[in-house]
Chain A
Amino acid sequence: MSLRSFVTIVASPRPHVGRTLLARMLVDYHLNGERKVAAFDLNARDAALAAFQPKHAIYSDIGEIKGQMALFDALVADDGVYRVVDLGPDAFEKFFLVAQDIRFTDEARSRGVAPVILYPITPDTASVDAYAALARLFPQATLVPVHNEMLGPAQHRDKFPPHGKGAALLHVPLLAPGLRRVIEQRPFSFIETSGSAAADVPLDAHIEIQRWLRKLYLEFRELELRVLMADLQGSIQR
């Protein structure tokens, strides 16, 4: 079945790795492409994504089965909507436990939804082990290691080999600390600036942020194209 949309899970068992920033940028990337997008914030501690993107992101609690149904039934919906999940340490284990039990990635693919996991890499053992487990348990997903340049050089990227169709290392470019403070005001959308703190950003900062955004959008676009090409090649070979 040809892929019609993506569900991207931005996941890390560690806090403060740039996960929510990545999820936010993804939401804006889809909006920039005039796509329908829905985002799910699974972080009970601060639900930051829902605060930054209140029009498109909601907080989801998967502690009970009703919450799991509300989330996962939506994630595999074949309706052309692009979905983003911000998954931090609070719900990391539970999410992937449920996903494994219900064969989430298999179902997504069968419905034309490409399951992609973006995983900000850090050198600690817990992160390395969790990444290896995801690669083993979800062969149908595209597992993408993300190097967030704001965390420093990625000297440990050999421990995070890309897995799955179209996977390759993805870079989040460096953004100057001053500009980072600008984009950390809530709510903030780069695309829907009305009602967002982005409306008040000075012009020079705006230009620098746009340059940074274009680099990141290029990374997202190349990832999408690789996944779609790999899927197409797979279809032709069958």
Chain B
Amino acid sequence: MAKPTVILVGADKGGVGKTTVARTLLDYFVAHQVPTRAFDTEAPRGTLKRFHPDLTEIVDVTQVADQMKIFDTLANSNATVTVIDVRAGLLSPTLKSLTEIGFLDSAKKGQINFAVFHILGPSIASLNEIAETAETVGDANYFLVKNFINNTSFFEWDPATYSSYFNRIKGAQDITVAKLNEMACEQVEVAGTPFVSFVANKGPNGEAANYSFVLRGYVRHWLGNVWSEFDRVKLMDLVGSDTGTQSAAAS
């Protein structure tokens, strides 16, 4: 049986597309037939759960009882991968809590695969969070996710500024999430389905839908690019899954 993998998806600022990235991860693992579960920490209503209701449970990660629900069940859960969509502003505190409960030690000992997807916003303040987060990430697989939700450039035009942030953490890898057209984004939001279901023209309950072919095409193309990034950083190798399949990439 594969070692359990925990992926924390977080940001210290809201509105950077954190839940969007969590959704692409869930679609990616499902497409690769990796048993996956998710925890949505936007208690009480949740945001991730609306799109993946069968996979997702809403929790309050600041409460011990819910922490037990997540971390005490890693070893005996049917899910190989646990994705935790951390509420905005709680990434660093959550990492500190994981240090306190010995979770990061378990990861260091190789008992658990642990990855952090740190979603960045297009501001110096957001980039400053990298150093703060990096202090507590330790030996985890650390992915800096540049989510191009607008026309930001993440300071790529200024190599000195760019290097000072993105090259600061040894072993950290960049992931680029390209911009998805706003109308396509909104349509998926309204549909309330996983991206893959929207592309397949299916509704929330798997029923045939009537979404725009153009918007479905744009979402398919975008999702394929995101999954290519996951392939590039060898995310399936991290999970240690032996499904051995290539990315289904919204085919």
- Asked if A73 contacts B214 (CB within 8 A), the reply is yes
Looking at B128-136, B155-163, B169-177, B217-225, the stretch in contact with chain A turns out to be: B217-225
Q: Which of A48-90 contact B (CB under 8 A)?
A: 65-66, 68-69, 72-73, 76
Query: In the bound complex, how far is the Cα of B218 from the Cα of A214, in angstroms?
Result: 42
Given contacts A65-B181, A65-B183, is CB(A104)–CB(B217) below 8 Å?
Answer: yes
Min CB distance A67 to B, Å, is 10
Q: B217 to A101, Cβ gap below 8 A?
A: yes
Expressed in whole angstroms, the minimum distance between the Cβ of B198 and any Cβ of chain A is 13
- In the bound complex, do residue A101 and residue B218 qualify as a contact, i.e. CB atoms below 8 Å apart? yes
Contact among B181, B183, B213 with A72 in the assembled complex (CB-CB below 8 Å): B213
Q: Is the CB of A69 within 8 A of B221?
A: no
Query: Which residues of chain B are within 8 angstroms of A103 by Cβ–Cβ distance?
Result: 217, 220
Considering the complex, which residues of chain B in the window 167-192 have a beta carbon less than 8 Å from any beta carbon of chain A?
181, 183-184
Determine the chain B residues whose CB is within 8 A of the CB of A66 once the complex forms.
183
B28 nearest CB across to chain A (Å)? 20
Q: Which residues of A contact B21 (CB under 8 A)?
A: none
B221 lies within 8 A of A101 (CB): yes
B215 beta carbon closer than 8 Å to chain A: yes
Verify A69–B220 contact, CB threshold 8 A.
no
The yes or no answer to B212 lying at the interface (CB within 8 A) is yes
Contact at A72–B214, with CB atoms within 8 Å? yes
| CB proximity of B215 to chain A, nearest CB, Å | 7
- Classify chain A's interface size: 10 to 19
Identify the closest chain A residue to B217 (Cβ): A102
Is A219 among interface residues, defined by CB-CB distance under 8 A?
no
Q: Are A73 and B217 in contact (CB under 8 A)?
A: no
- A69 touching B217 by the CB < 8 A rule? no
Q: Which of B184, B215, B217, B218 sits near A107, CB closer than 8 Å?
A: B217
Q: Please name all residues of chain B whose beta carbon is closer than 8 Å to the beta carbon of A72 when the two chains form the complex.
A: 213-214, 217
| Cα–Cα, bound, A68→B212 (Å) | 10
Interface pair A102/B181, CB less than 8 Å apart: no
User: Which chain B residues lie closer than 8 Å to A69 at the CB level?
Assistant: 183, 212, 214-215
Complex Cα distance, B35 from A8, in Å, reads 45
CB atoms of B213 and A102 under 8 A apart: yes
How near does chain A come to B157, taking the closest CB pair, in angstroms? 25
Q: Which residue of B183, B184, B213, B218 contacts A73 across the interface (Cβ within 8 Å)?
A: B213
| Residue pair B183, A102 in contact (C-beta under 8 Å) | no
Considering the complex, give the chain B residue whose CB is closest to the CB of A77: B213
Residues 83-131 of A contacting B (Cβ, < 8 Å):
98, 101-104, 107
Q: Which residues of A contact B217 (CB under 8 A)?
A: 72, 101-104, 107
Question: A108 to B78, alpha carbons, bound, how many Å?
Answer: 41
The residue on B at minimum CB distance from A98 is B214
| Chain B residues within an 8 Å CB radius of A107 | 213, 217
A72–B214 Cα gap in the complex (Å)? Answer: 7
Please, how many angstroms separate the alpha-carbon atoms of A66 and B181 in the complex?
Answer: 11
A107 to nearest B CB, angstroms? 6
Tell whether, in the assembled complex, residue B220 and residue A73 are in contact, meaning their CB atoms are under 8 Å apart.
no
CA distance in complex: A69, B182 (Å): 13
Known: A65-B181, A65-B183. A76 touches B221 (CB 8 A): no
Write the B198-218 contact mask toward A (1 if CB under 8 angstroms, else 0): 000000000000001111111
Q: Given the complex of chains A and B, what is the CA–CA distance between A33 and B214 in angstroms?
A: 30
| Docked pose: A66 CA to B186 CA in angstroms | 13
A101 to B221, CA, bound (A): 6
Give me the interface of B with A, judged by CB distance under 8 Å. Answer: 181, 183-184, 212-218, 220-221
Give me 10 A-to-B residue pairs in the complex whose CB atoms sit less than 8 angstroms apart, sorted by A's number.
A65-B215, A72-B214, A73-B212, A98-B214, A102-B213, A102-B214, A102-B218, A102-B221, A103-B217, A104-B217
Beyond contacts A65-B184, A101-B217: 12 other A-B pairs, Cβ-Cβ < 8 A, are: A65-B181, A65-B218, A66-B183, A69-B215, A72-B213, A76-B213, A101-B218, A101-B221, A102-B213, A102-B216, A102-B220, A104-B217
The 6 closest A-B pairs by CB, nearest first: A102-B217, A69-B214, A101-B221, A72-B214, A69-B212, A65-B183
